[in-house]
Amino acid sequence: MNADLTCTTAPDDSLAVSLTGDWLLDAVLPGIEPIFERLQQAPAPVGIRFETDGLGDWDTGLVARLVSIRQAAEQQGIPVDDSGLPEGARQLVALRSRSGSARVRDAAHATSGSSKVSARSRSG
């Protein structure tokens, strides 16, 4: 299933980001520019939250975009609620935010147990 991203402003003025489909490095992934554009608008959202009920397979293609979103939000003092993300993605994003890309590669391999994700992590 093709990856898709939609952004909506929730009643509490947070930005709800819906991620659906397969978010894999070897696929065409949607850009995250709509999120960056929304962060620049006034009034800024009070936070960002993720909805992933329709999320399929994912790898570091998703994680890299989540890290970029988190960094952009943090630069503007906007909190990110990642409780809607899969546990493995949350762990990898948190690890990347704290420690840098070398440890993300190690965690991707350990979390997934998949050589497919590990190989992609090393190349990206």
Check residues 101 and 87 and name the one with the higher pLDDT.
87
Quick check: bond before 34 cis, omega within 30?
A: no
pLDDT value, residue 100:
53
What are the residue boundaries of the structural domains of the chain, listed by start? Answer: 4-123
Given a cut of 50, whether residue 19 has pLDDT beyond it is yes
pLDDT band at 96 (very low <50, low <70, confident <90, very high): confident
- For the domain spanning 4-123, the CATH number is 3.30.750
pLDDT value, residue 112:
45
Check residues 121 and 3 and name the one with the higher pLDDT.
3
CB atoms inside a 10 Å sphere around CB 15: 24
pLDDT value, residue 1:
87
In this predicted model, what pLDDT tens digit does every residue of 59-75 receive, in sequence order? 999 999 999 999 999 99
pLDDT value, residue 124:
40
Given a cut of 50, whether residue 104 has pLDDT beyond it is no
